[in-house]
């Protein structure tokens, strides 16, 4: 049958239902009327509604079955055809119901007269709350159009049942009812920590309250406008994607665009509106249908695409419903755990960290900038939790245990008890580590290591004192740009730099000039050229800064003036060839001379450093090192380029190990050359913040690290239990002849010598 037929049959039913919904009669009377309307419209001898009451499906209204059976016939979840539909959330369409293995005969109904059977679940907030079934004496299956109409009606019924407060809140042990059960979901720990809170969707789901339209033409206009707006948004995203939102962003946007402009999709939504649904209900109805189709096709690639369509469909519903903002703009509860597919660093920074108890992502990876930002904010993050947005409801109680790589959803009493015991243990452990605040990071064989912290926001810097760090080894100046809606002017930059210098007191702070681009998108800085295929390797950091000299000059002035009378330590990101360092330094020096000529007060000392994040630069150290005051190895970028593995790609997150001989050999060569030139070298990537990795770094001669503040205590404990001399010797042997599993070998070595690895 054609669209037109489908639309007509649903429309006849919905017109009838519209009057029923609007009437003031009692819920039971409404349901009695509904079964009559549907039965008549589909020329079906039987039409029945079963509702879930106290975990059991009860016959609530019927046309065609014996009336004595109403409120008497009851089926458990999974019992009989009706029970199977509710349990699985799937449709059944049978020409001979009695031959189905799950058929359960209920004598009181008198259903032996009927052969064909079709039933659809009635779904509310993604869980089956009842079943709508039709039966016929002829042994013929119902056609697609009839099933379509039943599904549309089931959606309206869900609204009617909810309004009549007939929704059963008893948790059901069913596949379709799983969204109410306690469960444990596993993922990858991205930022350690534990948090207790309530699920908040970054992009909140809209609960559709009105399903039947009063004015179809008005609904059509609403959808039309929403499509226009959504297409505009997608086009804008594509235009401003020069700084990317992660490695896959170009692909994702392409797919979004394809769906946004898909004629078939908008036509199907329009047909659903013609059948009498509101704009929101029509979009959701089409989405339900697509979801059901995808269920039948077992293709992981299509399933991915389905995510995109879901995203877009939700966006369209939000636009229609006029709810555009993310949870950050809508007033956050005190104990929120944020749920998202993925987030950009700037999106996360919009949230008030005091209210955020954790973040759970469907994607995410260890060195993506959103992870680094979350770490800086002290918010635990669990990544790569499959299907999390489907399995969790907004407002669900959650226990996030990133230490154990898991999330407890709607936890049972035992889960809560176990979680709280672990939390108490962890707090005790943290207190013990905090007691190391004043302890010096000196190895067992008497070598003083330098442990600094990474920071990027004003408040981060206070951690230097709180954890007893030696200073700030990396201040990411781009964070100020990421949190600003407009380009921060020189005065604002200068004020921030002054504030953080004051906060660290006598301890050193190393400012890194802007590293924007890659996954650090800044909407107000637009690339005039074509969107980049590989933003991480594109026009970012120093490359951008040297081309847009104005930006760098302003920053140089802000830094020089903020450090007047003090020491300025500045380094440049993503230097790929020595001349880039020379040019950046010359630019700073020119600003210094200008300030001097104009009688401004200057820093007493300026130390110029360089980040080593691009492998090619390691081959030029003999040329570069004589120009440098210090070198800082950014292992996040360096290792992604060494292994040619996108740091933001979740599929590659576990594939290569920081403790691989390739990385350690590479780093050791750098350390040796830097020592020869007496240039101090620091590791400021995430690698240095993990105890076993940091131990390996000490093993290859690293003496300074700059890490996330939360890791300082554990690192000091490791250092204070380590014989660095013995490890260096062993490391020489391992790197000359690598064992099969260097991580394992290091762990064994640490365990037998009681080195504190956590
Ligand atoms: C790095 O790449 O290791 C680094 C420290 O810089 P960022 O993480 O900010 O790119
Ligand atoms: Mg980097």
For 449-459, what is each residue's pLDDT tens digit?
999 999 998 87
Between 61-65, 158-162, 328-332, 489-493, the lowest mean confidence (pLDDT) is in 328-332
Residue 503 pLDDT > 80, yes or no? Answer: yes
* CA 113 to centroid of ligand 1, rounded, Å: 73
Average pLDDT, the chain: 88
Judge contact between 611 and 628, C-beta under 8 A: no
**pLDDT computed for residue 177 by the predictor:** 43
Instruction: Inform me whether the pLDDT recorded for 8 exceeds 60.
Output: yes
Mean pLDDT, to the nearest integer, of 611-624?
98
Cα of 440 vs centre of ligand 2, distance in Å, is 28
| pLDDT for the residue numbered 178 | 44
CA distance 310 to 206: 13
Q: Which of 15, 20, 19, 18 is nearest to 32 (CA)?
A: 20
Q: What is the CATH number of domain 436-752?
A: 3.20.20.60
**735 compared with 263, residue with greater pLDDT:** 735
What CATH number was assigned to the domain covering residues 3-173?
3.30.450.40
Other Cβ atoms within 10 Å of 134 Cβ, number = 28
* 132: Cβ contacts below 8 Å, ≥ 6 apart: 38, 47, 48, 49, 50, 119, 120, 122, 150, 153, 154, 157
Given a cut of 50, is residue 173 above it in pLDDT?
Answer: no
Reduce the secondary structure of 80-121 to three states and give it as a string.
HHHHHHHHHCCCEEECCHHHCCCCCCCHHHCHHHCCEEEEEE
Work out the average pLDDT over 85-105: 91
pLDDT(690) > 70: yes
* pLDDT mean over 330-346: 84
Flag whether pLDDT at 470 surpasses 80.
yes
Least confident of 321-335, 450-464, 572-586: 321-335
Residue 569 CA, ligand 2 centroid: distance in Å: 18
The answer to whether residue 214 scores a pLDDT higher than 60 is yes
Is residue 237 scored above 90 in pLDDT?
A: no
Is a pLDDT exceeding 50 seen at residue 3?
A: no
| Gap from CA of 541 to ligand 1 centroid (Å) | 11
568 C-alpha to center of ligand 2: Å? 21
Pocket test for ligand 1, best of 367, 374, 456, 707 (most atoms within 8 A of CB): 367
Our CA angle for 194, 482, 500, nearest 5°, is 80
Mean pLDDT of 7-18: 80
Between the CA of 250 and the centroid of ligand 2 the distance, in Å, is 21
Question: Which pLDDT band, with edges at 50, 70 and 90, does 90 fall under?
Answer: confident
* Model confidence at 671: pLDDT above 70: yes
550-581 per-position pLDDT tens digit? 999 999 999 999 999 999 999 999 999 999 99
Q: How far is the CA of 747 from the centre of ligand 1 (A)?
A: 26
Domains 3-173 and 436-752 share a fold: no
Predicted pLDDT of residue 333: 84
Task: State mean pLDDT over 641-664.
Answer: 87
Whether the per-residue pLDDT at 597 is higher than 90: the answer is yes
Which of ligand 1's atoms lies nearest the C-alpha of 640? Answer: 2
Q: Which atom of ligand 1 is nearest to the CA of 685?
A: 3
Residue closest via CA to ligand 1's atom 9 equals: 476
- Name the closest ligand to CA 475: 1
Q: What was the pLDDT predicted at 222?
A: 94
**527 or 422: whose pLDDT is higher?**
422
- ∠ CA 309-315-319, nearest 5°, is 145
Q: For a pocket test of ligand 1, which of 685, 690, 706 has the largest count of ligand atoms closer than 8 A to its C-beta?
A: 685
The ligand with the least distance to the CA atom of 375 is 1
Domain 205-324: give its CATH superfamily. Answer: PtsI, HPr-binding domain (1.10.274.10)
Considering only CA atoms, which residue is closest to atom 6 of ligand 1? 634
Q: How far is the CA of 574 from the centre of ligand 2 (A)?
A: 7
Q: What is the pLDDT of residue 244?
A: 37
For residue 555, the model assigns a pLDDT of 97
pLDDT at 720: 97
- Asked if residue 729 has pLDDT above 50, the reply is yes
* Terminal-residue alpha carbon distance, the chain: 64
Q: Which residues does a 6 A CB cutoff place in the pocket of ligand 1?
A: 372, 474, 476, 515, 613, 634-637, 684-685
- CA 115–ligand 1 middle distance (angstroms): 68
Name which of 267-276, 436-445, 482-491, 585-594 the model is least confident about.
Answer: 482-491
pLDDT surpassing 50 at residue 463: yes
The pLDDT assigned to 210 comes to 87
Which among 277, 78, 91 has a CA at the least distance from the CA of 172? 78
Residue 341 CB neighbours (<10 A): 16
The pLDDT of residue 241 is: 42
Q: Residue 208's pLDDT is what?
A: 80
**Domain definitions of the chain by residue range:** 3-173, 179-203+331-434, 205-324, 436-752
Least trusted range by pLDDT, from 61-75, 328-342, 518-532: 518-532
The residue contributing the CA closest to ligand 1 atom 3 is: 634
Task: Check whether 680 has a pLDDT greater than 80.
Answer: yes
Of the segments 189-193, 247-251, 338-342, 584-588, which one has the largest average pLDDT value? Answer: 584-588
Structure tokens at 546: 């040297």
Give the atom of ligand 1 at the shortest distance from the alpha carbon of 478: 9
* pLDDT tens-digit map of 374-406: 887 889 999 999 888 888 988 999 999 998 999
- Determine which of 9-23, 287-301, 378-392, 609-623 has the lowest per-residue pLDDT on average: 287-301
The token duo for 61 is 């209204």
| CB count in 10 Å sphere of residue 21 | 18
Residue whose CB lies within 8 A of the most ligand 1 atoms, among 544, 633, 637, for a mutation test? 637
Check pLDDT > 70 for residue 132: yes
Residue 337 token pair: 């755990």
The larger pLDDT score, comparing residue 275 to residue 164, is at 275
The pLDDT value recorded for residue 243 is 32
Q: Which ligand is nearest to the CA of 707?
A: 1
Question: Does the pLDDT of residue 670 top 80, yes or no?
Answer: yes
User: Ligand 1: which residue has its CA nearest to atom 8?
Assistant: 636
Split at pLDDT 50, 70, 90, the class of 72 is very high
CATH fold of 179-203+331-434: Glucose Oxidase; domain 1 (3.50.30)
């Amino acid at each position: 049958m054609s669209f037109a037929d489908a639309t007509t049959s649903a429309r006849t039913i919905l017109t009838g239902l519209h009057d029923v919904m609007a009437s003031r009669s009692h819920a039971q009377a409404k349901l009695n009327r509904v079964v009559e309307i549907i039965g008549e419209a589909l020329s079906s001898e039987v039409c029945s509604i079963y509702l879930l009451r106290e975990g059991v499906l009860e016959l609530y209204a019927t046309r065609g079955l014996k009336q004595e059976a109403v409120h008497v016939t009851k089926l458990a979840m999974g019992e009989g055809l009706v029970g199977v539909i509710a349990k699985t959330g799937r449709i059944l369409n049978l020409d001979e119901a009695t031959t189905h293995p799950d058929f359960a005969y209920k004598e009181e109904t008198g259903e032996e007269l009927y052969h064909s059977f079709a039933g659809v679940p009635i779904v509310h907030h993604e869980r089956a709350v009842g079943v709508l079934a039709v039966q016929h004496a002829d042994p013929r299956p119902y056609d697609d159009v009839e099933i379509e109409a039943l599904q549309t009606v089931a959606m309206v019924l869900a609204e009617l049942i909810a309004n009549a407060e007939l929704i059963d809140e008893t948790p059901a042990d069913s596949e379709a009812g799983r969204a109410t059960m306690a469960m444990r979901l596993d993922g990858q720990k991205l930022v350690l920590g534990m948090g207790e809170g309530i699920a908040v969707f970054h992009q909140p789901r809209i609960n559709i309250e009105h399903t039947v339209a009063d004015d179809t033409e008005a609904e059509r206009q609403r959808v039309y406008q929403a499509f226009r707006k959504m297409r505009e948004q997608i086009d804008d995203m594509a235009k401003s994607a020069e700084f990317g939102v992660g490695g896959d962003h170009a692909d994702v946007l392409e797919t979004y665009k394809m769906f946004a402009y898909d004629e078939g999709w908008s036509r199907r939504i329009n047909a659903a509106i013609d059948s009498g649904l509101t704009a929101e209900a029509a979009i959701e109805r089409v989405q339900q249908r697509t979801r059901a189709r995808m269920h039948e096709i077992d293709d992981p690639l299509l399933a991915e695409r389905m995510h995109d369509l879901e995203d877009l469909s939700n966006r369209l519903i939000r636009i229609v419903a006029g709810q555009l903002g993310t949870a950050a703009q809508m007033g956050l509860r005190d104990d929120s755990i944020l749920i998202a597919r993925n987030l950009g660093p700037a999106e996360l920074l919009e949230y008030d960290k005091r209210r955020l108890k954790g973040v759970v992502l469907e994607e995410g990876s260890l060195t993506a900038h959103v992870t680094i930002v979350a770490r800086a904010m002290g918010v635990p993050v669990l990544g790569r939790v499959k299907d999390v947005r489907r399995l969790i409801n907004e407002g669900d109680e959650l226990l996030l245990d990133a230490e154990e790589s898991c999330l407890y959803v709607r936890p049972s009493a035992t889960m809560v008890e176990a979680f709280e015991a672990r939390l108490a243990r962890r707090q005790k452990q943290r207190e013990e580590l905090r007691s190391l605040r004043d302890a010096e990071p000196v190895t067992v064989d008497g070598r003083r290591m330098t442990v600094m912290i990474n920071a990027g926001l004003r408040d981060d810097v206070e951690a230097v004192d709180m954890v007893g760090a030696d200073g700030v080894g990396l201040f990411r100046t781009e964070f100020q740009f990421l949190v600003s809606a407009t380009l921060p002017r020189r005065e604002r930059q200068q004020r921030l730099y002054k504030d953080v210098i004051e906060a660290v007191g006598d301890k050193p702070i190393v400012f890194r000039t802007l590293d924007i681009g890659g996954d650090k998108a800044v909407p107000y800085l637009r690339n005039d050229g074509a969107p980049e295929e590989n933003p991480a390797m594109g026009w970012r950091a120093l490359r951008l800064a040297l081309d847009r000299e104005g930006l760098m000059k302003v920053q140089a002035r802000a830094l020089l003036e903020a450090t007047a009378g003090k020491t300025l330590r500045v380094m440049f990101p993503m230097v790929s060839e020595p001349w880039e360092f020379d040019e950046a330094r010359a630019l700073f020096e020119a600003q210094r001379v200008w300030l001097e000529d104009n009688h401004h007060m200057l820093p007493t000392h300026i130390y110029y450093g360089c980040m080593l994040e691009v492998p090619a630069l390691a081959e030029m150290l003999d040329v570069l090192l004589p120009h440098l005051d210090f070198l800082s190895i950014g292992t996040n970028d360096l290792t992604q380029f060494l292994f040619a593995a996108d740091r933001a790609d979740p599929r590659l997150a576990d594939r290569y190990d920081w403790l691989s001989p390739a990385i350690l050999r590479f780093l050791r060569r750098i350390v040796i050359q830097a020592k020869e030139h007496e240039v101090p070298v620091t590791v400021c990537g995430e690698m240095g913040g993990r105890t076993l990795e940091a131990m390996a770094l000490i093993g290859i001669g690293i003496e300074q690290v700059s890490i996330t503040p939360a890791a300082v205590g554990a690192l000091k404990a490791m250092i204070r239990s380590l014989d660095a001399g013995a490890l260096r010797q062993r490391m020489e042997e391992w790197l000359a002849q690598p064992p099969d599993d260097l991580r394992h070998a290091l762990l064994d070595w640490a365990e037998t010598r009681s080195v504190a690895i956590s």
